[in-house]
Amino acid sequence: EVQLVESGGGLVKPGGSLRLSCAASGLTFSSYSMNWVRQAPGKGLEWVSSISGNRDYTYYAPSVRGRFTISRDDAGNSLSLHLNSLRAEDTALYYCATDGYIYGDGAFDIWGQGTMVTVSS
């Protein structure tokens, strides 16, 4: 069974940093693009970042570009998101999701349960 488990969320002060992780199991992790998607409390989904399977490409939402960095450790089957210069508006539940594991590029077909990031003084 394919499983994604996020961790690393918590309470951080504005301007602070955090590192989120997503542990993958049950799939050939290195073969697939991966994504981070977030959801602020009571709000809709917002795509944050993606990284290609060969790490050649990374993409970021304009709202986080220059502050967040996505990376992956294929040997360790894990995805990371480094969050810097955090703002109150970054408060959200952060999900990791596979891209095209079963259903082709652009289909976020496997999701984790999310890890909560709260930015507050």
CA distances from 112 to 2, 31, 44, 93, 105 (A): 10, 18, 17, 11, 18
User: Considering beta carbons, is residue 13 or 113 the nearer one to other proteins?
Assistant: 113
Closest CB 104 distance from other proteins, rounded Å: 6
Nearest Cα neighbor of 21 from 43, 6, 1 is: 6
Binding site for other proteins (CB under 8 A): 35, 37, 44-47, 50, 59-62, 95, 102-104, 106-109, 111-114
User: Considering beta carbons, is residue 88 or 102 the nearer one to other proteins?
Assistant: 102
Per-residue 3-state assignment (H helix, E strand, C coil) for 84-104: CCCCHHHCEEEEEEEECCCCC
User: Considering beta carbons, is residue 16 or 39 the nearer one to other proteins?
Assistant: 39
Closest CB 121 distance from other proteins, rounded Å: 27
Closest CB 49 distance from other proteins, rounded Å: 9
What's the CA gap between 48 and 114, in Å, rounded? Answer: 13
Token output for 55: 């790490």
User: Considering beta carbons, is residue 45 or 88 the nearer one to other proteins?
Assistant: 45
